[in-house]
Amino acid sequence: NNENELFSVEYCGTNCTQQNNGSWTKCNGNCTCYHEDGKTAGLCLSTEYTDFTQFPNLTNEEIDRVTPRPEEIQSH
């Protein structure tokens, strides 16, 4: 486990399903459908890999500037 590497996975809030022709429904945005073998339902997930050794001298201000802000979730 390397402390300078980060792999994050986020649930996109939607699922994906296998169609009768074998294709899978599309996920929105940069989300991808992940599913278990033999199952016809999966989850739309967003994955991101960051290697912090590419950014050796970040200041706290630079880190704060690129930190994701929480999204406001609206319910309908």
Q: In the structure, what pLDDT confidence band is assigned to residue 6 with cuts at 50, 70 and 90?
A: confident
**CA-to-CA distance for 54 and 48, rounded, in angstroms?**
15
Per-residue pLDDT, averaged over 23-27, amounts to: 96
Q: What are phi and psi of 19, to 5 degrees?
A: -85, 170
Task: Using alpha carbons, select from 19, 15, 18 the residue that is nearest to residue 31.
Answer: 15
Choice between 11 and 5, residue whose per-residue pLDDT is larger: 11
Q: What are phi and psi of 54, to 5 degrees?
A: -75, -15
| pLDDT tens digits, 42-76 | 999 999 887 777 766 767 787 777 777 666 655 54
Q: Degrees (nearest 5) of the Cα angle 27, 69, 4? A: 85
Record the pTM: 0.58
